[in-house]
Structure 1
Amino acid sequence: MKLRYFMMACLFLMNAQQKALFAKSNNDKLIAELNEAIQHKELYIKKKLADIEQLKWTLQQGGLTLEQQFQLNDKLYSEYKTFQYDAAFTYALKLQEIAQKLKDPLKINYAKLQLSFTLLSSGMYKESIDSLNSIKVKGLPNHLRTEYYVLMSRSFYELAAYNGDPYYLDLYNKKGNMYSDSAIALMSNKDLQYYFVKGIKELKERKFEEAKVNFKLVLEKFHPNYREFAMTASSLASAYIESEEKEIATDLMIQAAIADIKSSTKEGVALAYVADLLYHQKHDEKAYLFIKEALNDANFYGAKLRLKHVSGILPIIEGNRLSTVEGQKNRLFTFTLVVSFLSLLVIIFAFIIFKQLKQLKLAGKKVTEANHKLQEANDRLQETNEILQATNNELLEANKIKEEYIGYSFNMYSDYLDKIEKIKKNIEKKLAIKNFDSIGQVLDSINMKKEREALYLSFDKIFIKLFPNFVPAFNSFFKEEDKYPLQADQPLDLDLRIFALIRIGISDHEQIARILEYSVRTIYNHKTKVKSKSLLSNEAFESKIMEIRAF
């Protein structure tokens, strides 16, 4: 009994170990999609690099105007702005250089805005704000003024988050809100950016439910591209994190990370946040894989701030992962001990069971042999019973046919005896009075043809009575046009009568010819003609005739 309880405890411990080792995340489906996107990352990057190379090739062609050079450098800047910091910075400076040569104030300010974005993305907040302050806002068209205010608000929001001091946090967020209001005032409520900027402002004001509404509008109404989707989904995830809805936040952040990968965005932080969220949900292995991937992206982008942000998360996840691995090793060691002990018990019980099985096998072999012999005897008995049953059926049929034909024969013989007796008496009378001439008349009164036809009709009636299904069964052996129509009380024709005689056992051609008063050749020809029209082979035809049952 003690051994039984000990084994139950061991099994419980093994089950607990398995649950701890193989626990699954609720986000498995999205994580699988993220892993798939990471596996295809190089394909997305390859496409982006191909587009960049095409633009560079076009730029290297001679005869381009300054305006065309500006447009191509702007496109190259757009390709690099979230992809590689150094290249984006270089092309932003080229934009400024070409804009100065063109002496176009709008292009000069546009180039400064692009440089400010790049500086901001790299974490150079002071330089970004200085660059923005050098822009003369007055006189700018609405779309550039909007971009200016959005960059200003973002600069102060990120500066507040980076600084962390409560005093400056509040101060910078207020400035960010002020610039957000200025941007919103210039936007149309039919534009995606209108709801995105409103959502960011409400997020900073800790109006999380209002922020969620605006971010959801962007995702559901405006069909954003990958970059817009990633920014909106990650911002919406931040709102859910603040309202303690971590499961939904994780789903959204994973989707943002997938969008970043598909757009080859290296400047994004969604993947790092995914790793952080999964780490706090105790999914250390997944968190470690994703933070390593985020670190690769940060290194590729080349901005110190992004690298610092990821590097701050990596040691925490890696340290916890090492602790988890050590714990798993200890649990695995315990698990191994338990399994070893149980294996020993299994070996002991297996030896005992083996001996029992060996004895049972010997007994089973004897029982099996006896069963085989019994089965063979049963099979032979079954075969014998089937043969006897078939023989009994044939005997019953034969007896019935004999009974009918004996009755029929007695009636026929009785009729013929009566007729012979009448003829005998008639002839005796004629002889008695010596009226020899009238004896010939008596004999002439006997019509043998009619007598024979009467005999055939009598045979037909008794045969159809014994074999009511004979004609339909016989006709089933022929095509429709070759069948033998037979109405009620109609005599059998010669072909049917030949095979009727065969069915009752008269198969000799001479005997059939004698009964029907035809030559043997005629009987043979009729049989051959019937068989040639049949759907059956000649060999099978007569055996099928014999299978037609009586009654």
Structure 2
Amino acid sequence: YKEGLDYLDLIKPEEINNENGSIYYGLLGRCYGDMAEYSSIPFFNKKYNKLAKECRIKALNLTTPGTFFNSFLKFYNEYKDGNLLTAEKGFKSMFNSTISNRDEALLNYMLGEICRESGKANQAIDYYSKATIADIQISTKESLALIKLSELLFRKKNLQSASALVKKAYDDALFYGAQQRKLQVGAILPLIEEEIMQNIEREKKRLYIQYIGAIVFSVIVICFLILTFIQFRKIQKAKKIIANAHGDLQKVNKQLVIVNEEINARNSQIESINDRLFEANKINEEYIGFFFTEYDDIFEKFNEFTSYIEKDIDSGDYAKAKYRLSRYDLKKEKDKLLNNFDTAFINLFPSFIDEFNSLMKPGEQIKIKDNQI
């Protein structure tokens, strides 16, 4: 700044007029403004800001009303006085199709400054970006917009873009030898690099944690697969046991079916035997009953016959006894007894004759006449 002030001091007061005075006081005000921004001592900071304001007022008074420089200085003074809304409206009203790229870059930079101080970081980034693009198009190396844009992008954690922009600003500062810009860039660049390194370390930690997590997850998955395989083997073994048991049950079931069939057949045989036994018992009962009936009848007749004979003999009537004996027909009684037995047999077995004839040849079959047994 000493070199800048010494250069401006070379201009004699009588050489300053209305044509070059606005430029002279504008540059002098810019120099004092940068010195106030650079100085960290409150006394000198206030002193330089006061001198910068006085120079801007002198420059404004020497400008032609209605020109771009006149309007810019007027709204710039409003900005420096803290009237941000008035300054913002004024700078926006200066945009038109006739302004140059340099003037457009200057307006966008000032709007970016106003938005940054108002807390509207996203809008400030837009204006700084437009100012930076315009500066690059006109090959402006002393670009404050580039530095301010990199600062905001750094705060937004857009480290890659911020790093590229601040390196470009540092290269430009080296190119035209601006010490203050190199200091500004030098203050930002280590912070960006430190943040990048911290991000790299965080990314390493994150990747390490992910790696450990992946290993733990892989171990869990492997354990799960092993348990699943063991359970699968157990299930397969259980299925095989169940299948074998099912086959055995089917065999047992078939055997039970066969046994049931045999039992049913035996039951049928037993029922048939029981029927036959029942029939035999019935025959026995019938025959025994018939036998006793016939026996009683014959026995009574015989007793009655013998009692009559004994009476005749006891009375000496031998002729009558002989007569009685001659009248008793033993053959007739025998035929009658046999006939009664045959009748009882046919009554017990009514189909006996038909079943017997079914076993004989047609010429050898027995034919029973009516009333013949």
Verify same fold: TM over 0.5. yes
Q: Supply the AA of the counterpart residue of 2:132.
A: A
Q: 1:133 to 1:298 in 2, by over 3 A?
A: closer
Tell me the secondary structure at the aligned position of residue 142 of structure 1.
coil
Alignment of 1:75-224 (within 5 A): 125-138=1-14, 140-218=16-94, 220-221=95-96, 223-224=98-99
Tell me the secondary structure at the aligned position of residue 197 of structure 2.
helix
Deviation of residue 139 (structure 1)? 5.6
Q: Supply the AA of the counterpart residue of 1:203.
A: Y
What is aligned with 2:194? 319
Deviation of residue 141 (structure 1)? 4.4
1:129, 1:299 → 2: CA distance? 21
Q: Supply the AA of the counterpart residue of 2:122.
A: E
Q: 1:146 to 1:210 in 2, by over 3 A?
A: same
Preserved CA contact (<8 Å) 2:23 2:59: yes
Deviation of residue 230 (structure 1)? 2.2
Tell me the secondary structure at the aligned position of residue 221 of structure 1.
coil
Alignment of 1:32-51 (within 5 A): none
Aligned residue among 239, 243, 259 for 2:114: 239
2:13, 2:129 → 1: CA distance? 38
What is aligned with 2:281? none
Preserved CA contact (<8 Å) 1:230 1:256: yes
Aligned residue among 281, 292, 297 for 2:172: 297
Q: 1:209 to 1:254 in 2, by over 3 A?
A: same
1:246, 1:223 → 2: CA distance? 29
Q: 1:240 to 1:194 in 2, by over 3 A?
A: same
Q: 1:322 to 1:139 in 2, by over 3 A?
A: closer
2:66, 2:97 → 1: CA distance? 9
Preserved CA contact (<8 Å) 1:137 1:145: no
Q: Supply the AA of the counterpart residue of 2:12.
A: K
Preserved CA contact (<8 Å) 2:38 2:180: no
1:289, 1:266 → 2: CA distance? 15
Q: Supply the AA of the counterpart residue of 1:247.
A: N
What is aligned with 2:157? 282
1:303, 1:139 → 2: CA distance? 28
Question: 5+ residue gaps in structure 1?
Answer: 1-124, 357-551
1:141, 1:228 → 2: CA distance? 24
Q: 1:139 to 1:315 in 2, by over 3 A?
A: closer
In our comparison, the structure showing a higher alpha carbon Rg is: 2
Equivalent residues, number:
229
Tell me the secondary structure at the aligned position of residue 6 of structure 2.
helix
Deviations 1:196-244 (A, max 9, x none): 22232222222222221222223x2364323222222222211222222
Aligned structure 1 segments of 4 or more residues deviating by more than 6 angstroms: 344-349
1:166, 1:333 → 2: CA distance? 49
Matched-pair identity in %: 31
Deviation of residue 327 (structure 1)? 0.7
1:221, 1:200 → 2: CA distance? 18
Tell me the secondary structure at the aligned position of residue 82 of structure 2.
coil
Are 1:250 and 2:250 counterparts? no
Preserved CA contact (<8 Å) 1:173 1:204: no
Q: TM-score, normalised by structure 2?
A: 0.55
Q: 1:248 to 1:334 in 2, by over 3 A?
A: same
Tell me the secondary structure at the aligned position of residue 19 of structure 2.
helix
1:339, 1:195 → 2: CA distance? 64
Preserved CA contact (<8 Å) 2:75 2:91: yes
Q: CA RMSD in A?
A: 2.7
Preserved CA contact (<8 Å) 1:160 1:173: yes
